[in-house]
């Protein structure tokens, strides 16, 4: 297994009864993590969300980053996924 510890949980659902969990080698898990890390970053997050502040909507990266800096959003602020 690689020495780098990822900060995400991955659940692999395999529709094949012959594959055992031990048969999934670490190189495949590392490959899946590298694919996910390619799109799972702050730039992608900011492109995929808009921030609603009462009656104003913004897609500005700085405003979105300021909003998610805290554990909870301030009142009347909402993050909307554009997907």
Contact call for residues 68 and 79 (beta carbons, < 8 A): yes
As a whole number of angstroms, the distance between CA 44 and CA 32 comes to: 18
The mean-pLDDT minimum among 8-12, 49-53, 71-75 falls in 8-12
Give the confidence band of 82 by pLDDT, cuts at 50, 70, 90: very high
Write down the pLDDT at residue 53.
93
Tokens of 17: 């009864």
Better-scored residue on pLDDT, 15 or 46: 46
Q: What is the pTM of this model?
A: 0.62
DSSP 8-state code for residue 4: P
Give the confidence band of 5 by pLDDT, cuts at 50, 70, 90: low
Write down the pLDDT at residue 19.
73
Contact call for residues 59 and 50 (beta carbons, < 8 A): yes
Contact call for residues 48 and 81 (beta carbons, < 8 A): yes
């Amino acid at each position: 297994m690689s020495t780098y510890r990822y900060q995400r949980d991955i659940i692999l659902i395999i529709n094949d009864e012959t594959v055992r969990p031990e048969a999934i080698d670490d190189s495949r898990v590392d490959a899946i993590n590298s694919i996910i890390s390619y799109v799972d970053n702050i730039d992608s997050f900011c492109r995929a969300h808009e921030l609603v502040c009462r009656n104003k909507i913004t897609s500005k990266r700085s405003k979105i980053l300021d909003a998610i800096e805290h554990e909870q959003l301030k009142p009347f602020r909402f993050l909307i996924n554009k997907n």
